[in-house]
Amino acid sequence: MILKQMLQYSPNLDLAFQALADPARRGMLERLTRGPASVSELARPFDMTLSAIGQHLKVLEAGGLVRTHKVGRVRTCQIEPLALSAAEQWISQRRTTWEQHFDRLEQYLAETEDTPDDKDTQP
């Protein structure tokens, strides 16, 4: 739901969300928020081959979430903090705030009941 709505104002978010819709890739990203890592360092906690990690990295790069560069034989990966522009972040936060309000609204409606008065006032 949030995804669909976010996409209305940023096509780039489509690829970013695709990249994030996988627990292994989120785990890799989580690791990179703590600092850059080589591909093999990144692979270590996961039960995956280096080529599988490489595939995931490609998706993360396509989503604009991770940047990699090769020095000699070592490819270093780092998080791309500008995946969302400041504007997108801010508006996304605003949307999320309203989504949270409406989660609570749904809960409130579930905890209360229709009264005859409500039915009478229907247009």
Q: Select from 9-17, 35-43, 44-52, 54-62 the region that touches another protein (CB under 8 A).
A: 9-17
Asked if residue 105 binds another protein (CB under 8 A), the reply is yes
Q: Which helix (H) or strand (E) holds 10?
A: none
Asked if residue 46 binds another protein (CB under 8 A), the reply is no
The candidate with the shortest Cα–Cα distance to 66, out of 42, 90, 86, 93, is 42
Asked if residue 49 binds another protein (CB under 8 A), the reply is no
Specify the amino acid at residue 14: D
Asked if residue 26 binds another protein (CB under 8 A), the reply is yes
Asked if residue 5 binds another protein (CB under 8 A), the reply is yes
Rounded-to-10 torsion of CA 22, 24, 25, 26: 80
Eight-class DSSP state of 46: S
β-sheet with 37-38: strand ranges across = 37-38, 74-79, 66-71
Name the minimum Å distance from CB 59 to another protein.
14
The residues binding another protein (CB under 8 A) are: 1-3, 5-6, 8-9, 16-17, 20-21, 26, 29-30, 33, 65, 79, 81-84, 86-87, 89-96, 98-99, 101-102, 104-110, 112, 114, 118-119, 121-123
